[in-house]
Structure 1
Amino acid sequence: MKKTIIFGATSAIAQETAKILAQNGHALFLVGRNKEKLKIIADDLSVRGAHKIITSTVDINNTSEHSAIIQNAIDEMNGLDIALIAHGTLSNQKACEISYTEAYTEFKTNCLSAISLLTLIANHFEQQASGTIIAISSVAGDRGRQSNYVYGSAKAAISIFLQGLRNRLHKKNVRVITIKPGFVDTPMTKDFEKGILWADPSVIAQGIIKAIEKKMDVVYLPWFWRYIMAVIKLIPERLFKRLSL
């Protein structure tokens, strides 16, 4: 029986991933901001077969609480095998361009808070010489675009941080998996016009489970985003800066 902690457990991708983990009999420690929503999710996961479910309500930006949350999860579940970091916000690019405070707040949520969690979890898994870390980055971090470069730069930083962790922890029998979704149809993107490149959260969740089972490193979801981003990264900067992306 695996013991898994999920940060940002109320997000659409996290919920769909938790459903699969519950069906596989995992013990789940769910961390989120909304107590009522966490309870609804926990009740659903219990019906789906989760071995044990514990919830914790917290503002993830309050990094001073991170150590206590992780230790509580370890104590309550008598250990920890998997950590999924799935929290985040979709930045208001225009507001961030005007205000450093707005930009910093978004960067703290999408990058700094995750780095805090990753540091603590990595140290625990390194000490026990086992464990799997999965963190959701984004294809937006592969190249800076005028439409979302604050969000993209935060995700770029997370991707590089995860790459360094992966290199550091490889010999310690700890897996570090970077998930890079493309466009996902979630409540966070409800105001966007959808097209053929958009994916359902359940598709991303299935990809995350596959990445865990196959011990993968960097995963683009759906798979075709790897090739889309490969092309985008090849565009010379002198041309790229002229594009309205």
Structure 2
Amino acid sequence: MKIVIIGATSAIAHEAAKCFAKDGAELFLVARSEEKLTDVANDLKVRGAKRIDTYALDLADVSRHQELLNAAISTLGSLDMLLIAHGTLGNQQLCEQSVEETMKELNTNFLSVVSLLTLSANYFEQQKSGVIAVISSVAGDRGRQSNYVYGTAKAGVTAFLQGLRNRLAKSNVAVVTIKPGTVDTPMTASLKKGLLFASAKTVGEGVYHAMMQRKDVVYLPTYWAVIMFVVRSIPERVFKRLSM
């Protein structure tokens, strides 16, 4: 398997990559920090990856996305799978006070993802095979005052993936929407940990299985499907008075 992992130094993506490495996959890893990429690559080599190449890029720079995709195809020869896992949690209160900060978060978590999906979808559609997976979030299932800027971006990603799945189904291309709940990673280090927090290992392994099984939409861990069903079912007249 030839797999591109974007945001490869994130905890969830790294755990998913470990699973692919055990299968002897050829991996093209993309992230902003060259130093962190090297560390992840060295770890995956030990775990059995057949080949590993790295590409350092600030993914907010959408003007370089075509260059990135071209490099991945040129390096690996072809692509079987793509995992998009980059993003930031952001600061809701800061976003409320700053249009610039809000747009920055939307660019990183939504627009840059749309850019990568638009370019890669054309490649896989022409190839008539492949798997595209993106880490969205349960936060996109319903807007909440605690993180609605982040949730807006993830809701947009989820809707975009729905349309893309519909478009690419006839081309034998699977589009997998991954919706993790709260995960214990460096990105959530500032949050108070509760019973619903899952480990990056659990979620990363779930990402791997979802991609291998060509799922459509997956909540990780699976109990979040029930939780979010309940959250979505709350009438708006009640929901707007809740502190969530």
TM range (shorter): over 0.9
CA distance in 2, matches of 1:67, 1:213: 26
> Pairwise CA RMSD of aligned residues?
0.6
Bigger mean CA offset, 189-198 vs 231-240: 189-198
Q: Output aligned runs, 1:47-58, within 5 Å.
A: 47-58=46-57
| Structure 1 position 206, deviation (Å) | 1.3
| Cα distance in 2 between the residues matched to 1:45 and 1:100 | 40
Partner of 1:232: 231
Alpha-carbon distance in 2 for matches of 1:193, 1:111: 26
Identify the residue that residue 221 of structure 1 maps to in structure 2.
220
Residue by residue over 1:157-209, the C-alpha shift from the partner in whole angstroms, topping out at 9 and shown as x without a partner, is 00000000000000000000000000000001111111110000111111111
Q: Which residue of 1 aligns with 2:146?
A: 147
SS of match in other structure, 1:180: strand
What corresponds to 2:193 in structure 1? 194
> What residue is the counterpart of 1:175 in the other structure?
174
Task: Tell me, in whole angstroms, the C-alpha distance in 2 between the residues paired with 1:95 and 1:190.
Answer: 18
After TM superposition, the structure 1 stretch with the greater mean CA deviation from structure 2, 84-93 or 208-217, is: 208-217
Letter in 1 for 2:140: G
Q: Which amino acid letter does the alignment assign opposite residue 200 of structure 1?
A: S
Q: Tell me what 1:162 maps to.
A: 161
User: SS of the counterpart of 1:232?
Assistant: helix
How many residues are aligned here?
A: 244
Q: How far apart, CA to CA, are the structure 1 residues paired with 2:103 and 2:127? A: 34
Superposed, which structure 2 residues align to 1:97-136 within 5 Å?
Answer: 97-136=96-135
Amino acid aligned to 1:187: P
Matching residue's letter, 2:86: H
- Aligned equivalent of 1:61: 60
| Aligned-partner SS, 1:59 | coil
Distance, in Å, in 2 between the alignment partners of 1:54 and 1:214 is 25
Q: Partners in 1 of 2:5 and 2:67 — Cα distance?
A: 15
**What residue in structure 1 maps to residue 37 of structure 2?**
38
Match for 2:29: what amino acid? L
Residue type at the aligned position of 1:84: L
1:92 corresponding residue in structure 2: 91
Counterparts of 2:209 and 2:29 in 1: how far apart (Å)?
Answer: 21
What is the Cα deviation at residue 213 of structure 1?
2.3
Letter in 1 for 2:204: A
Q: Which runs of 5+ in 1 are unaligned?
A: none
Partner of 2:96: helix, strand, or coil? helix
Distance 1:20 1:186 in 2: 18
Give the corresponding residue for 1:18.
17
- 1:244 is paired with a residue of what secondary structure? coil
Cα shift readout 1:128-163 (whole Å, capped 9, x = no counterpart): 101100000000000000000000000000000000
% of aligned pairs identical? Answer: 57
Q: Equivalent residue of 1:167, what SS?
A: helix
Cα distance, 1:210 vs. partner?
1.4
Quick one: distance in 1 between partners of 2:214 and 2:60? 29
Matched residue, 1:78: 77
* TM-score of the pair, normalised by structure 1: 0.99
State which drifts further: 178-187 or 208-217: 208-217
Between the aligned partners of 2:212 and 2:66, the Cα distance in structure 1 is 28
1:211 aligns with 2:200: no
What secondary structure sits across from 1:13 in the alignment? helix
Distance 2:43 2:114 in 1: 30
SS at match of 1:231: helix
Q: Distance in 1 between matches of 2:40 and 2:208?
A: 19
Letter in 2 for 1:15: H
In structure 1, how many angstroms separate the alpha carbons of the residues matched to 2:135 and 2:211? 13
In 1, the alpha carbon distance for the partners of 2:20 and 2:213 equals 15
Q: Supply the AA of the counterpart residue of 1:159.
A: T
